Structure 1
């Protein structure tokens, strides 16, 4: 290990809070779509698809950039943690596959029976995800703070956002920053390239408010707490 700065993992807590909140609220959104209301089904489905895509890439970037480094540097301390992380990621990815398949069918039909099945699948995904995130925060993040450099962390974060279109970046940051401590948000924005930070800082809250109004019917959806 070098004397390089180590990872600041506060942005991980922001992402985790976003996943817990948005996936937790999704079953009620799905059940609330009226029979045959394709327009509303599309709004809800696109929102769920956005969040589950980010979750998939978030986990894939952890798998690619973090676990092998923890095994190399933390040895026996990391082995049981990495094993659990990989097993949980695999289980969550299988559930995401089920959700995507059901989501596409429901989006095209707005059929209540298909919606009920989809909502149940999302509920199961949420339960498994909440369990996983708690273990990651308790067991993996402390190891990451000791053994992963800030540069390596930045590579992981960039990989997780690689498939997010530039025009969606303010919304994604707004989704994560909604419940965050303002000081943490300022620190994260300050760490970004100036041209990126300026855009995100100005537009994120506006993008989130507009999106939340369209999806949740309010610019201030229910908060769950937990972001640092």
Structure 2
């Protein structure tokens, strides 16, 4: 039996962790005085943190609503998602804490609360994703059909910010993964990436300095 293609979810997981690590390191550098942020940069950092939080919220909400039911129908008693769902219930207050701290920072408050909030969120996301990939990905590959997984992925589209997630794919996909995605998506993906890259790179320079 053909196994589900988990390329997309692996990239999104890597992107969530990677961008939280980058934001956390940036906030800690600002807190320690190793970097500076004028009002324009502080506002850009806040918008970026809010976009990351929005993407994480969208991902875990869609897992609860769409992905978990598909896995449970296919695997039955072979899977228990209760603790991962509990993690999801802890995420929203942490995401809101990051948003509030980021807005306060953009408004002139110290960056220390943002750094602390990002540390807490990053640690939970790291632990959650490592556990999910270790325990649940083998279950998906064993019990969920490739056809059901493809249907599920189609139903996941919409509701998030496709431009932001496209930038994530462009940054965090390996060359082999990107080649695979291009084969599936066709020339439209290359066109979208070409159009999106200049503004994304400008944003990255403003937020992260590189």
TM category, shorter:
0.7 to 0.9
Partner Cα distance (2:135, 2:52) in 1? 24
Q: Within 5 Å, which residues of 2 pair with 1:124-135? A: 124-135=120-131
2:49 maps to: 48
RMSD: 2.5
* Partners of 1:175 and 1:208 within 8 A in 2: no
1:188 maps to: 181
Partner Cα distance (1:142, 1:207) in 2? 38
Alignment TM-score, normalising by the size of structure 1: 0.78
2:24 maps to: 27
> How many residues are aligned here?
205
Partner Cα distance (2:108, 2:134) in 1? 40
Partner Cα distance (1:187, 1:29) in 2? 32
Q: Structure 1 unaligned runs (5+)?
A: 219-228
Partner Cα distance (1:100, 1:214) in 2? 19
- Alpha-carbon distance, 1:54 to partner: 0.6
Q: For residues 27 and 154 of structure 1, do their structure 2 counterparts lie closer, same or farther at Cα, with a shift above 3 Å needed?
A: same
Q: Within 5 Å, which residues of 2 pair with 1:148-159? A: 148-154=144-150, 156-157=152-153
Q: Within 5 Å, which residues of 2 pair with 1:1-228? A: 6-31=3-28, 32=30, 34=36, 37-79=38-80, 82-107=81-106, 109-112=107-110, 115-154=111-150, 156-157=152-153, 160=156, 162-165=158-161, 168=163, 171-192=164-185, 194=186, 196-203=188-195, 205-218=197-210
Partner Cα distance (1:56, 1:199) in 2? 28
Structure with greater helix share of residues: 2
- Alpha-carbon distance, 1:165 to partner: 4.6
Partner Cα distance (2:182, 2:76) in 1? 34
After TM superposition, the structure 1 stretch with the greater mean CA deviation from structure 2, 151-160 or 171-180, is 151-160
Q: For residues 195 and 50 of structure 1, do their structure 2 counterparts lie closer, same or farther at Cα, with a shift above 3 Å needed?
A: same
Alignment TM-score, normalising by the size of structure 2: 0.83
- Alpha-carbon distance, 1:202 to partner: 3.0
Partner Cα distance (1:74, 1:28) in 2? 39
